Amino acid sequence: MTDLTIINAEIYTPIHRIDNGYVVIENGVIKKIGSGRPSRIVGELLDAENNIVAPGFIDTHTHGYNGVDASYSDKNDLFKWTREVVRHGVTAIIPSTVTLPHKDTIRACKNIRDAMREWSPRKGARILGVHLEGPYISKEKRGAQNPEYIREFSIEEMREYIAVSSNNIRQITVAPEVRGVIENIPFLVQNNIIVSLGHSNADYATAERAILMGATKATHLYNAMSSIHHRKPGIVIALLRNRNVNLELIADLIHVAPEMIMFTFEYAGPYRVVLVTDSISATMLPDGEYELGGLKIEVRDGIARIAGTNTLAGSTLTMDRAVKNLVKIGLPLQDALIASTYTPAMSVHALHREHIGLIAPGYRGDIVILSRKNLDVKYTIIEGIPVYSSEG
């Protein structure tokens, strides 16, 4: 870990904004922030040149990047991912699997566990755990999930996933109408697993019951869910109305219309919205044919779909582009930064477990510096170590 002092910064903590600010990092931890010049320079000096300094982006729902797939990659490939994704300002990820055969999910959990054990800041973005997107989801709202492996909830399977991951299942996406799900939500919560509702055809009452049992998140809100109807409000309205539920949004302007994105922020606010990429292994690769959970995927003009259909299959979005998209459609920059840093951390309890998602004394020195002009990533810093610079 490195001591680092950042000066001449427009700081978004992101809750507060500090003009002409500074950040002092010692032994990888933020020790002091303020306005003006610090009383002493600690370690290396980095002049932010009046650019934007914010917590590093946290992507809690991402399946892959640049040829690496969370469902099938070993620790070395996972480290390729973590080293490269920092160019997009990302300092933490939760690799997300898709619906798979049991043995493949076991292998994915072990691979991610092994990478977590060997992680260090110089290996890039920190890995917060495993996100199981399935297999306990709705076949009717499966989206780009392989229907062959969708199944009823199994507590025996879940115990095995928890064990082989060394208690590192961080989040699970489930459909509350699937047999065995609702009654076992307390078991998941007791094992420190964030329960996210998604890929679901549930009605309002069923979704409400799942929330009362402990579900606290929505997986890519609006997508792969029963539609809103004024006489049948369904799962979307249940998720929106419950203020303790965090709401994932894929802000590629394809999965969700700009007007719906703005509505969600206006209704729920940035402290509930979690910006995610839902990126697949084709991200940063040319258009062509790829695979996701045993399904053939076509990427055309950067849009991923199940081959031969119009069904979206994840995205090729990156977090820096997502933030730019939000600002482009009229969201204040501070709200976009809250939704890409603080709220993702809060939604998976990383504010207090890993001490990330906030620029404040006692938190990790995980920081992104963005160009004030165009929001391009200039530096990515993890525990005080500059792991990416746009200047090489």
| Residues acting as catalytic residues | 278
Give the dihedral sign, CA 186/192/196/199: negative
**Cross-strand partners of 130:** 169
Give CA separation, 113 vs 169, 205, 302, 339, 350, in Å. Answer: 9, 36, 31, 27, 17
Of 363, 337, 373, 371, residue with least CA distance to 23: 363
Strands 273-276 and 57-62: unpaired
Whether 355 and 56 have beta carbons less than 8 Å apart is answered as no
Of 261, 358, 255, residue with least CA distance to 310: 255
Q: How many residues does the chain have?
A: 392
- In Å, the largest CA–CA distance within the chain is 63
H helical segments located in the chain: 75-85, 102-118, 155-164, 185-190, 204-213, 234-241, 258-268, 319-328, 333-337, 343-347, 350-353
In angstroms, how far is CA 309 from the centroid of its own chain? 26
Give the dihedral sign, CA 209/313/71/247: negative
How many angstroms separate the CA atoms of 140 and 161, rounded? 25
Amino acid identity of residue 83, one-letter, is R
Whether 200 and 226 have beta carbons less than 8 Å apart is answered as yes
How many angstroms separate the CA atoms of 88 and 324, rounded? 11
How many angstroms separate the CA atoms of 85 and 95, rounded? 12
**Cross-strand partners of 11:** 18, 53
